[in-house]
């Protein structure tokens, strides 16, 4: 996986495993944090399939479109890349969504949204903007949208 990072996201450092796939046949399949261009990023590595690459490309298109308006964990170009090895892996790199880390929400989390009006208004504005952008996505990227609607974007049946 490091070879993919070096080729497509040169200068990636401090790769730290967050969550392992758990399959001993897929030792590189995991989620990592790393540093890239001075910011902490999220790196995901899975074993490649054509279907999964198409699905991930479609999700990247959606998340990046949404992320132009609302806080989202957008992908870092080139977004989705594959290794050249026999055991082909697919690697993605994305930003952590800007905002407050859940562990920093304070002593009353997760119930802050119940009694704190500013929290409620902020969350409502995010959902409003997310919904509006999602509706726009349908006309801007009709083929990608249709893959979500018709189920072809789903790998789980």
pLDDT in the model for residue 29: 83
Residue pair 129/70 in contact (Cβ under 8 Å)? The answer is yes
Count of C-beta atoms within a 10 Å radius of residue 77: 10
- Range list of H helices, 19-116: 50-66, 112-115
pLDDT in the model for residue 135: 94
Q: Is the pLDDT of residue 21 over 80?
A: no
99 backbone φψ class: left, alpha, beta (φ>0; ψ -120 to 50) = left
pLDDT in the model for residue 73: 92
pTM to 2 decimals? 0.82
Q: Hey, where are the domains in the chain?
A: 2-149
pLDDT in the model for residue 152: 59
The CATH number given to 2-149 is 3.30.200.20
| Per-residue confidence band for 82, with pLDDT thresholds at 50, 70 and 90 | confident
Q: Is the pLDDT of residue 156 over 50?
A: no
pLDDT in the model for residue 157: 42
| Per-residue confidence band for 154, with pLDDT thresholds at 50, 70 and 90 | low
Nearest partner of 61 among 142, 120, 141, 155, judged by Cα: 141
> pLDDT digits over 135-148, tens only?
999 999 999 998 88
> pLDDT digits over 84-118, tens only?
776 788 999 999 887 766 666 666 666 776 777 88
> pLDDT digits over 22-79, tens only?
777 777 788 999 999 999 999 999 988 888 899 999 999 999 999 999 999 999 999 9
């Amino acid at each position: 996986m490091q070879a993919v990072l070096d080729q497509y996201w040169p200068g990636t450092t401090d790769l730290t495993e967050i969550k392992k796939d758990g399959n001993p046949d897929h030792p590189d399949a995991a989620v990592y944090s790393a540093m890239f261009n001075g910011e902490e990023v999220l790196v995901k590595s899975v074993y490649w399939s054509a279907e999964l690459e198409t699905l991930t490309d479609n999700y990247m298109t959606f998340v990046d479109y949404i992320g132009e308006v609302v806080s989202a964990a957008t992908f870092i170009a080139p977004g989705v890349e594959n290794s050249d090895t026999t055991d082909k892996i697919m690697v993605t790199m994305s930003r952590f969504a800007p905002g407050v880390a859940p562990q920093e929400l304070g002593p009353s989390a997760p119930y802050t949204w119940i009694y704190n009006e500013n929290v409620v208004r902020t969350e409502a504005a995010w959902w409003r903007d997310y919904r509006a952008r999602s509706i726009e996505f349908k006309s801007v990227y009709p083929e990608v949208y249709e893959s979500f609607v018709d189920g072809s974007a789903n790998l789980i049946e």
